[in-house]
Amino acid sequence: MQEFSRHCKHPVTHLALSGGIGGAKLSLGLEHVIKSPKLMIAGNTGDDFRHLGLYISPDLDTLMYTLSGRSDPERGWGLANETWSFMDTIKEIGGETWFQLGDRDLATHVERTHRLNQGEKLSAITSMLCRKYKIEAQIIPATDDLLQTIVETNEGVLSFQHYFVRKQCKPTIISLKFNGSEKAKPCIGLEQVLNSSKLETIIICPSNPFLSIDPILSVKGIKEGLKKSRAKVIAVSPIVGGIAVKGPTANNLRDLGYPVSALAVAKYYSSFIDGFILDKRDEDDASRIESLGVKVCLEDTIMIDLKSKIRLARRVLDFSKSI
Amino acid sequence: MQEFSRHCKHPVTHLALSGGIGGAKLSLGLEHVIKSPKLMIAGNTGDDFRHLGLYISPDLDTLMYTLSGRSDPERGWGLANETWSFMDTIKEIGGETWFQLGDRDLATHVERTHRLNQGEKLSAITSMLCRKYKIEAQIIPATDDLLQTIVETNEGVLSFQHYFVRKQCKPTIISLKFNGSEKAKPCIGLEQVLNSSKLETIIICPSNPFLSIDPILSVKGIKEGLKKSRAKVIAVSPIVGGIAVKGPTANNLRDLGYPVSALAVAKYYSSFIDGFILDKRDEDDASRIESLGVKVCLEDTIMIDLKSKIRLARRVLDFSKSI
């Protein structure tokens, strides 16, 4: 009950829901501003999969590597100062090479898989890794239970990583399914936080609404928790200037029949958010978002460096207090 | 049935039983002389264990790495041009570090573990790895079944790697046990070869009699196969000048109540060998070994370079033909 004891000592005041790269950028800003376990970041686990027998959790890893200052700034995923001897050799012996695994990154996967196979929970393992990586915030998986994003596309039904990495998001999405979501429960620390009176703000990071945030919200009780919580729920737009900052968000909106706009994302979230951080470039959407009953805060949301991440994080917290 | 088809096309004429480093040296010499799948090398699997959830087979790996010219000449184990990013990171996250795993070496363990967990046999996986590594000889595990060397010592009962790596062979051995040996069967390719009329020579490599050769012989039918086979059985002494060339053989002889001598090893093997390659430095033992009914061949058995490995291998084959 690591999470529980940390939670008791430091009641969580801020909860972020996050996918990978974009969410991790804002989470890093939040970590710098809050600097304590009072910040909890619930990561998407719908992308998790077993590869070469290893349990890989791309979003939790991106969060951990980013918040510990170890992520590779060029690639956007994996660790800095990475080496690739393992992949070179896997290629030589005819193993699968479509998913890149760095030598340092492998330590996370091997240790985690070993512990999972011995019966430890993903949340406890993530908590242990965060301690080792000296991360002050609490990173947890949205759920310790099975949750698998399945992508129905014009090229057939694909597991998430097959769509995302192997097919490079090229197929057109028809629908999404989160296997296991009917049974999955929020992990224990997250459930406590959602019910806590100390929680002030819930931040929906600028992650992909369909591929990163929806899997989290598909876990029993999380969406309801957001609605019931006394905390302010603030979403940060993943759409800037009418396009996605990174990844397939724009294509996904189009595929699923939505306009590619910040407004469309705000509408999609409108039943459970109180505020929406809109990029200044999308100012035209502001009044229509407000007419949904959602407060709007205009801001430059592009996070090119640590300074801009911290600035956006502060803005999110100030905005939350103001509404 | 990879081994089977290879065996049919190239009936095995020479079978070597081998442990790790010493056995791999002679096996490399034999590979250079025979240059075909007519050479089969049955490796000890009593040292195999799971570490961090990965199935590790130290003797098979040493054989594969040595015969493919990839072994590290300095360390004596593992791969040349190895990198250590994985171990550095495992240390950082508090994982077990007493057993070193190089980044390239990890590819073997991850791929093998993955295939074993999917139900492939160790022999088939080893055969696939040998093809990828372009090894002409057939390296196979003595058995596909569970076999675990357990070492009863003055410091308690230890699994093999705990005795060998963690405790650096320092505890005194009281007795040895090979868990699973009552049920383990020779792997299918080995069983066929032992029964084959084409088999000319069986070579007991200069490996540790107790820790490397005995586990192989403990597998049901192998020792009997050696006795029944029409092939000549030739052992190469692991004792040179009254001491062990490498590893704990001398200490093991002493612990188990034997004199530390080539004669003691020849005696230990005498019920199933036809000939014994004795190092010239131990010439004094020759007549006493011959009085056991075992032919003796004197030779410089120290294998310092490829040339001396090939020379010793030729000598073994010539000696076998001569008796």
Contacts of A111 in chain B (CB under 8 A): 52, 90, 93, 95
Interface test with B, best of A86, A116, A117 (most B CBs within 10 A): A86
Return the closest-CA partner of residue B238 out of B210, B265, B270, B274. B265
pLDDT level of residue A9 (50, 70, 90 thresholds): low
Q: What is the mean pLDDT of residues A57-82?
A: 93
Distance from CA of A202 to the nearest CA of B (A): 30
Q: What is the mean pLDDT of residues A23-32?
A: 97
Residue burial A137-156, b: 16+ Cβ < 10 Å; e: rest: bbbbbbbbbebbbbbbbeee
| CA–CA distances in Å: residue B163 to residues A16, A245, B52, B153 | 48, 55, 18, 9
Distance of CA A49 to the CA centre of its chain: 16
Tally Cβ neighbours within 10 Å of residue A27.
28
DSSP A167-212: STT-SPEEEEEEETTTT--B-HHHHHHHT-TT--EEEE-SS-IIII
Residue carrying the six token digits 């196969």: B225
Crossing angle (nearest 10°) for helices B103-117 and B122-132: 140
Torsion of CA A193, A195, A198, A200, to 10 degrees: 80
pLDDT at position A139 is 98
Quote helix, strand, coil % in chain B, to nearest 5: 45, 20, 35
pLDDT at position B1 is 43
> By the CB < 8 Å criterion, does A80 face chain B?
no
CB B27 within 8 A of CB B63: yes
pLDDT level of residue B43 (50, 70, 90 thresholds): very high
Q: A221-250: per-residue pLDDT in tens?
A: 999 999 999 999 999 999 999 888 878 999
Query: Of A53, A106, A114, which is closest to B86 when you measure between CB atoms?
Result: A106
> By the CB < 8 Å criterion, does A280 face chain B?
no
Edge-to-edge strand order for the sheet containing A173-179? Answer: A156-159, A148-153, A173-179
Q: What is the mean pLDDT of residues B187-191?
A: 94
Residue A195 phi/psi, 5-degree rounding, is -90, 0
pLDDT level of residue A313 (50, 70, 90 thresholds): very high
The CA R_g of chain B, rounded to the nearest whole Å, is 19
CB B277 within 8 A of CB B301: yes
Burial environment of residue A293 by CB neighbours within 10 A (0 to 12, 13 to 18, 19 or more) = exposed
pLDDT level of residue B235 (50, 70, 90 thresholds): very high
Contacts of A93 in chain B (CB under 8 A): 107-108, 111, 128-129, 132-133
Interface test with A, best of B55, B103, B133 (most A CBs within 10 A): B103
Contacts of A103 in chain B (CB under 8 A): 83, 85-86, 89, 103, 106
Q: B267-289: per-residue pLDDT in tens?
A: 999 999 999 999 999 999 999 99
> By the CB < 8 Å criterion, does B128 face chain A?
yes
Tally Cβ neighbours within 10 Å of residue A41.
29
Torsion of CA B109, B112, B113, B114, to 10 degrees: 120
pTM over 0.90? The answer is yes
Report whether pLDDT(A5) > 80. no
CB contact under 8 A, A103 and B86: yes
Report whether pLDDT(A86) > 50. yes
A206-215, A280-289, B4-13: the lowest-pLDDT one:
B4-13
pLDDT level of residue B9 (50, 70, 90 thresholds): low
Distance from CA of A82 to the nearest CA of B (A): 8
DSSP B38-76: TEEEEEP-TT-EEETTEEE-HHHHHHHHHHTT-B-TTTS
> By the CB < 8 Å criterion, does B52 face chain A?
yes
Distance CA A108, CA B95 (A): 10
Return the closest-CA partner of residue B169 out of B153, B190, B146. B153
pLDDT at position B291 is 98
Distance from CA of B205 to the nearest CA of A (A): 27
Q: A93-134: per-residue pLDDT in tens?
A: 999 999 999 999 999 999 999 999 999 999 999 999 999 999
Q: What is the mean pLDDT of residues A11-39?
A: 96
pLDDT level of residue A1 (50, 70, 90 thresholds): very low
CB B75 within 8 A of CB A60: no
Contacts of B89 in chain A (CB under 8 A): 79, 103-104, 106-108
pLDDT at position A6 is 52
CB contact under 8 A, A111 and B52: yes
The per-type count for chain A, helices as H runs and strands as E runs, is: 14, 14
| CA–CA distances in Å: residue A286 to residues A83, A275, A314, A316, B95 | 46, 11, 20, 16, 50
> By the CB < 8 Å criterion, does B80 face chain A?
no
Distance CA A144, CA A81 (A): 31
Structure-block tokens of residue A97:
């090479």
Q: A169-195: per-residue pLDDT in tens?
A: 999 999 999 999 999 999 999 999 999
DSSP A81-138: T---HHHHHHHHTT---SS---HHHHHHHHHHHHHHHTT--HHHHHHHHHHHTT--SE
> By the CB < 8 Å criterion, does B106 face chain A?
yes
Distance from CA of B62 to the nearest CA of A (A): 16
Distance CA B179, CA A166 (A): 43
Residue burial B224-262, b: 16+ Cβ < 10 Å; e: rest: ebbeebebbbbbbbbbbebebbebbbbbbbebbebebbb
CB A261 within 8 A of CB A285: yes
Q: B79-134: per-residue pLDDT in tens?
A: 999 999 999 999 999 999 999 999 999 999 999 999 999 999 999 999 999 999 99
Distance from CA of B118 to the nearest CA of A (A): 9
- Choose between A74 and B188: higher pLDDT: B188
> By the CB < 8 Å criterion, does B88 face chain A?
yes
Domains in chain B, ordered, with CATH?
2-143+185-322 (3.40.50.10680)
> By the CB < 8 Å criterion, does A183 face chain B?
no
Q: A132-150: per-residue pLDDT in tens?
A: 999 999 999 999 999 999 9
Task: List, as own/partner pairs, every contact residues B169-177 make where C-beta atoms lie below 8 angstroms and the sequence separation is at least 24, other chains included.
Answer: B169/B247, B169/B248, B169/B251, B172/B251, B172/B255, B173/B210, B173/B251, B173/B252, B173/B255, B173/B256, B174/B255, B175/B256, B176/B149, B176/B150, B176/B151, B176/B152, B176/B210, B176/B211, B176/B214, B177/B149, B177/B150, B177/B152
> By the CB < 8 Å criterion, does A96 face chain B?
no
Alpha carbon distance, N-terminus to C-terminus of chain B: 34
pLDDT at position A90 is 97
Report whether pLDDT(B8) > 80. no
pLDDT at position A8 is 53
User: What is the overall mean pLDDT for chain B?
Assistant: 94
pLDDT at position B221 is 95
CB contact under 8 A, A90 and B113: no
CB contact under 8 A, A103 and B93: no
> By the CB < 8 Å criterion, does A169 face chain B?
no
CB contact under 8 A, B103 and A85: yes
Element (H, E) at B5: helix B2-9
> By the CB < 8 Å criterion, does A108 face chain B?
yes
DSSP state of A3: H
Chain A residue closest to B108 (CA)?
A90
Tally Cβ neighbours within 10 Å of residue B120.
14
Contacts of B126 in chain A (CB under 8 A): none
Q: B301-316: per-residue pLDDT in tens?
A: 999 999 999 999 999 9
> By the CB < 8 Å criterion, does B117 face chain A?
yes
Contacts of B55 in chain A (CB under 8 A): none
